[in-house]
Structure 1
Amino acid sequence: MKLMFVLLLCAAAVCITCEQPPSDEDWLELHTPQGPVRGRRDPNADHLYAFHNIPYATAPVGKDKYKPPLPAPVWEKPYDAINKNIICPQYTLQLYNLKPKNSVEQEDCLIANVYVPDTRKTNISVLVYVHGGGFFGGYGDFLTPKRLLKSKDIVLVTFNYRLGVHGFLCLGTENVPGNAGMKDQIALLRWVQKNIASYGGNPNDVTIAGYSAGSMSVDLLMLSKSAEGLFHKVIPESGGNLATYTIQRDPLEVAQYQAKLLNFTNIDDIHALEEFYRTTPLEQLYYTDILSTRFYSSALFSPCVERETEDEAFLTESPLSILQRGSFKKLPVLYGFAAMEGRGRLAFFEMLKPKMNQNFSDFLPNDLKIDSEKERREVSDKVKTFYFGDKPVGEDNKLGFVNFFTDVTFSHAMLWSVKLYAEAGHKSVYLYEYSFVDENAPLVPPITIRGADHCDQTFAVVDSLDEDLASVEVKNMKKTIRQIWHNFIKTGKPVPEGSSLPAWPAAGAARAPYMSLGQELELRHEPLLETRTLFWDDIYQKYYLQPIPPPERIPNSRIEL
């Protein structure tokens, strides 16, 4: 089974536009700390100049490919910042193709794209958009919110970061310390601080936003001491720092597990294991079935908790502990998810139905620790009854199927964070649930339930090919959502004073109030998804499994496939 259907599920068709050679007046040359850079007018958004393929850092290669990023290059002659379709090495999977046409995969893949409004204004707000892809796929320009820049008062930055085993192998050694992909993201933010003024942006007014794994990333960045001071507002779209996908529970076990899948047997010798990963080419490590093995509600390679001794560590403490202690910068956050995050799983309903009826405990999140098999069955039965009643998983309780995957993958983790943020004294978390549905859109079997799916709010913000052909309702919704995002980027509030939109106060520990972003905007004061959230609160209070860093010494272990 291809597990990845819950990891990104923000996939969109990729269009590569055939472009005419630019004329001299289409170019814009800027002088930056790296050297002179030449961008050209965006052929698909004439209000912007696009600067592609700018190296914001240098990725180590060969046996050093898991180390933190190195400084970016500099130059003296003008650098033509044109798109070369460079992406980081990643999985090639039949179910979801996250690669653009004519893409070039290379280990040194750390490039940024900067979209600069055609304006004389300077010192304008900056939006850094982090791509999703389950930490195993995607690239900087996978989705771009260029229409958000119509007002010409925002500079947009997208970028690549290392993915999968390349970005998130975590052995806690000098050569493989862990979190290379997150350290890439910090390197990008440092590059923004140093360079963005040359592109017209204000380094003291940076908003980081992301969807799916990008959402998890920006929510984690807010907790990382190494990222403090590099940004000022945060927009996580469908993915939180407490999600089961976000942090590896045991990074050594994950590394051993994949190595054994690839027929490497000396997994208990840390030196041998490290040498295996350092010398094996990445294309061999991107084993195409790695996501089809154990977990239905989690990934393998994702960020990890590093050892305290690591230099330049991204995270040395679990997100839950940091939230509970309140030891993070309390920046304005626009925080939310779609009402039916699990709806996309209906495409696999017929395949999953017998598995869920046969052994539902396989579907419990992997961030639960239940040692007793008897107790695990009891918890499993309790969860199954909560969502499906006393009937088998079947046609008449498909909504329970959708709600289950919505909660275990995205919604509960984000609502848990909201509670902890508020309890830590954070008074600027603006909570929403996105529920808008285009009633005229056809339902394509086997998706037989209408509802807002994973990252649908992202698709309301970013550009779409058929946007000009959309219904009046869809156009109005997109306009409203973009206005909210624009307000937040500019002011730190989704609805500032004087706006025509409904007033939107910050959420408290009860996970309310929140804004329902549906056919109409409605501020609601009851706790969001209260019954379902309290149900999981009780389970996690008893069984939460804290993530651990890689150990200093390798215990004897056996990894069962």
Structure 2
Amino acid sequence: MYWLVIINLSLFSLVLCDDPPSRLVYLSQGPVRGYKDLDLDLFVFYGIPYAKAPTGYEKFKAPLPPPVWTEPFEAVNKNIICPQNDIATMISQNKIVQEDCLIANVYMPETNRKKLPVLVHFHGGAFTIGWGDIRNFENSKEIIQVSFNHRLGVHGFLCLGTKDVPGNAGMKDQVALLRWIKNNIENFGGNPDEITLSGYNSGSSSVDLMTISKMAQGLFKRVIVESGVSIAPFSVQIDPIKNAKRYADFFKFENVDNFYELEFFYKNLSYTELNSKNSLSRPDSTFLMTPCVERDVGEERFLDDNPVNIIKSGNYKKLRMLYGYGEIDGQFRIPLLEHWEYWMNIRFLEFLPADLQFENEIEKYRVAEEIKTLYFGDKVIGKNTMPEFVEYFTDVMFAYPTLRSAKLHVESGHNQIYLYETSKAVYDNPAVLPINESVSDQCSKSIRVLNDYWKESRQYKYDVEDLKTVKDVFLETLINFITEGFFFSELIIPGLRKWKPVNLNWSPQLYIGESFKLKKSLKKKKALFWDKIYQKHYVYPSAPPAPPPENNDT
């Protein structure tokens, strides 16, 4: 009998030992229990509600306060995502799409240190797809990390300028998340006064928009902008009402010119219907449903003017910023080359960015041909011009907007922007820059296609081990920025004490390739070329006009 008791106790101990260690954290909402992820070697709290998405006819409004509870909330569900286009289902089949999707994931290192710096990850996905995850920093013991979901596509960014559809629901979700972090992160061991925001693609645009939004002021200390800025053609809608009509056209809704019928139409669409259409392949470098300048409807606004005006005014808090783009960011357009090449050869003007406006078709054609000649010369656009194709969309969507934005900031008195470019060699190696699982299969495919092209042409050779070292060093540099907020010990990157804030000539600029090099502006010639075009033809994003009188049927 004695031995049976011993055996049973031993088995019970084994069962207990199999349970991962847990941490109980007390929030204003109630207690939350997270568990240790043995792969990440971090305590992880998945799926904590930071706000509640309104439903029904109010589904486009600002988020509501989060729920409260008394019993410990088991923070273990890491599969919740917001309603989004079906393209996202190509990535992962185990995700749970649900209406009430405004959740945060908190990653906490096992340490006795308190007041750790906090890094908040803003996911990419063209404001249309994606969900919160962490990338590259998984093993850091020096920082608390947070990822999160927000409303996407039409659900998050329909902008009609009315009480029920004011616009920027997805951006207001993001601000609600930052307010939640500010109020709760200390309970996880984080420092609410040392919060850094980081994003890629549309996540980067969101981060950059946060820096000029009065709604987000005081909620963070520094930012890392990676391939997406507030003035990129895809970041803020030029004409939100026009875009709402365009999207309704996908459903063959005929009464688009009746404003109240249009609003009623959107209010009655299900979440599945709202996200059923794909606007990711527009030739004008926009995604239709993105942030907007809001009309004043008597409520708190995320964006009350267009970004260029706000930056020029200097009326925003100037924070320390890492500001950069990738040399081949435009590679995500490669799957469209086969569909676009015919029209790019005969009507290149259709592929100009949407934030350019011309007096007439003749002027637009002339400028388009000038741009086409700069990038493609007299070549026929097709598979053999893939590098030129990638460079064009890199410059139009990422590189030039970043450079233009940096210059506008400097002109307004901002002297804490550090400019960088990531080389094609770094992108070319999964060992160096792992592909985020939350990007679409199209992006993964485009990377493989482009890599194959370059390998066949043997234009680019590099040492993988050197690149791994570059990755490790740069991640250490970023962590140094997040934890200390200043640059970067000679022991980390020799010579980087010379990396000064960028000036009006886009210099200096850190080039991250097989090694680190501080250079003068890497794209000055093309930036000056685009400057001339944008100075003459740029069209400012505007808020929706006041709705017509309700009895007006026009």
Amino acid at match of 2:110: D
- 8 Å CA contact retained: 1:208, 1:218: yes
CA distance in 1, matches of 2:179, 2:311: 24
2:238 paired residue number:
249
1:372 paired residue number:
360
Shift of 1:120: 0.7
Relative distance call for 1:506 and 1:122 in structure 2 (3 A) is same
Shift of 1:77: 1.1
Secondary structure of 2:420's aligned partner:
strand
2:508 paired residue number:
513
Larger Rg: 2
- 8 Å CA contact retained: 1:344, 1:447: no
- 8 Å CA contact retained: 1:36, 1:77: yes
Equivalent of residue 479 in structure 1, options 461, 465, 472: 472
Relative distance call for 1:554 and 1:545 in structure 2 (3 A) is farther
Relative distance call for 1:261 and 1:42 in structure 2 (3 A) is same
1:83 paired residue number:
77
Secondary structure of 2:288's aligned partner:
coil
The answer to whether residue 518 in structure 2 is matched with residue 529 in structure 1 is: no
Alignment of 1:429-444 (within 5 A): 429-435=417-423, 437=425, 444=448
Alignment of 1:67-466 (within 5 A): 67-93=61-87, 97=89, 100-141=92-133, 143-147=134-138, 149=140, 152-292=141-281, 294-394=282-382, 397-435=385-423, 437=425, 444-445=448-449, 447-450=451-454
CA distance in 1, matches of 2:263, 2:332: 37
Residues matched between the structures, number? 511
2:52 paired residue number:
58
Gaps of 5+ in 2: 1-14, 432-446, 456-462, 550-554
Bigger mean CA offset, 80-89 vs 99-108: 99-108
- 8 Å CA contact retained: 1:297, 1:409: yes
- 8 Å CA contact retained: 2:129, 2:153: yes
CA distance in 2, matches of 1:22, 1:166: 44
CA distance in 2, matches of 1:86, 1:397: 41
Shift of 1:164: 0.1
Q: Deviations over 1:414-459 (max 9, x none)?
A: 00011011111111101101116168889844655549xxxxxxxx
1:457 paired residue number:
none
What TM-score, normalized by structure 2, do the two folds share? 0.88
Secondary structure of 1:45's aligned partner:
coil
Secondary structure of 1:342's aligned partner:
helix
Relative distance call for 1:280 and 1:349 in structure 2 (3 A) is closer
2:11 paired residue number:
none
CA distance in 1, matches of 2:430, 2:191: 40
Shift of 1:367: 0.6
Identity of aligned residues (%): 43
CA distance in 2, matches of 1:158, 1:437: 28
CA distance in 1, matches of 2:261, 2:16: 52
CA distance in 1, matches of 2:283, 2:68: 44
Amino acid at match of 1:278: K
Relative distance call for 1:236 and 1:445 in structure 2 (3 A) is closer
- 8 Å CA contact retained: 1:59, 1:70: yes
The answer to whether residue 25 in structure 2 is matched with residue 30 in structure 1 is: yes
Amino acid at match of 1:537: D
Question: Which has the larger helix fraction?
Answer: 2
CA distance in 2, matches of 1:527, 1:155: 34
CA distance in 2, matches of 1:329, 1:278: 36
Relative distance call for 1:446 and 1:41 in structure 2 (3 A) is closer
CA distance in 2, matches of 1:352, 1:548: 29
CA distance in 2, matches of 1:183, 1:345: 29
